[in-house]
Amino acid sequence: MKPQSIIELEEWESRVSRLIGLVAITNQTLQMHRESGDSWLMIKQYEELLAEHQQELDQLLKTHGLTLKVVPADSAA
């Protein structure tokens, strides 16, 4: 891994943050559709979108030698 400028690191941080947000929003939307009993096609599309966001996040983190496992937390309420 080559040294990076502060600007490059800030851009990387912004992309990682954005992707974590997309994973969270997509997961929440997927759960909503599952609970509403929506069509399997709609659910499958959100599952694929979630997988794409997670894959992009994984690849971005690997550029800095990092990994992160993002999984839904069980509801404590």
Tens of pLDDT, residues 31-64: 999 999 999 999 999 999 999 999 999 999 999 9
Looking at the domain assignment, is residue 73 inside a domain?
A: no
Q: How many domains does the chain have?
A: 1
Instruction: Provide the residue type at 60 as one letter.
Output: L
pLDDT band at 71 (very low <50, low <70, confident <90, very high): confident
pTM of the model: 0.83
Looking at the domain assignment, is residue 77 inside a domain?
A: no
Round to whole Å and give the CA distance between 31 and 56. 21
Do 54 and 23 touch, CB atoms closer than 8 A?
A: yes
Looking at the domain assignment, is residue 72 inside a domain?
A: no
Looking at the domain assignment, is residue 75 inside a domain?
A: no
Domain extent, residue 36, equals 6-62
Residue 19: count of CB within 10 angstroms of its CB: 20
Residues 6+ apart with CB under 8 A from 77: none
